[in-house]
A and B are shown apart, each in its own frame.
Chain A
Amino acid sequence: ILNVEQSPQSLHVQEGDSTNFTCSFPSSNFYALHWYRWETAKSPEALFVMTLNGDEKKKGRISATLNTKEGYSYLYIKGSQPEDSATYLCASRGGGGNKLTFGTGTQLKVEL
């Protein structure tokens, strides 16, 4: 994988559903994986920065896992709420620089 890819591109779930998205990134020369949450008309907000293989981070109902060997990360949202509606971006940073390469995002809409 040369670029950062996210799937699905968009997702509609019902309130209370749990959901997850995938981020695939180049596994060679990996340094860090970022997740950001971007609500419409607001600034993207950092959720997690992960560096270690097997790392798992949690923030409230949102958690993320990281597999650096195979180059993927999962973001999980438990019991989705309407306020979780946003675009979730992941970005990968390789070693040797401070540049992040972003995926196109997963747009989540949580309906009542």
Chain B
Amino acid sequence: GAVVSQHPSWVICKSGTSVKIECRSLDFQATTMFWYRQFPKKSLMLMATSNEGSKATYEQGVEKDKFLINHASLTLSTLTVTSAHPEDSSFYICSASRGNEKLFFGSGTQLSVL
């Protein structure tokens, strides 16, 4: 089956530092990857859609300079939370599409900013 690997699983960082989260499709080429954020008891909220070789499309209200997305290859997309602050603490999860309908998800990253 299709596997998406997301690292790290959890990260604690100091306020003001940047954190990079990687999302890799291990056994398929992902034409599109999606980044979500989830607050406690809330639904997965789409942050941006990442297409290989082109700029990511950000959802309304998501700061593109705060959440940098790079999709440099068909198997890797990265989300960098720049100058992280406590309000950026959240659960972040990626998913990948092979071009058919269903999505393949990573296992998520819990970010805590002190």
Contacts and interface: CB of A to CB of B under 8 A. Distances in A.
Contacts of A44: 93, 95, 103, 105
Could you tell me the dominant secondary structure of chain B's interface residues? strand
Contacts of B105: 36, 43-45
Contact of A46 (B42, B43, B49, B102): B102
Given A42-B107, A99-B49, A32 B44 contact: no
A104 B42 CA distance: 5
Contacts of A101: 43, 46
A26 to B, nearest CB: 14
Interface string B20-32: 0000000000001
B48 to A, nearest CB: 10
B102 A104 contact: no
Interface string A30-73: 00101010000111111001000000000000000000000000
Interface residues of B, number: 23
Given A89-B44, A104-B41, A105-B43, A98 B107 contact: no
A41 B41 contact: no
A46 B37 CA distance: 19
A102 interface: yes
A43 B107 contact: yes
Nearest to A44: B105
Given A42-B107, A89-B44, A104-B41, A98 B102 contact: no
Nearest to B45: A102
B4 A43 contact: yes
Nearest to B6: A43
Contacts of B93: 44
Interface of B: 4, 6, 32, 34, 36, 41-46, 49, 93, 95, 97, 101-108
Interface of A: 4, 32, 34, 36, 41-46, 49, 89, 91, 98-105
12 contacts: A42-B107, A44-B103, A44-B105, A49-B102, A89-B44, A91-B44, A98-B32, A99-B46, A100-B103, A102-B44, A102-B45, A103-B43
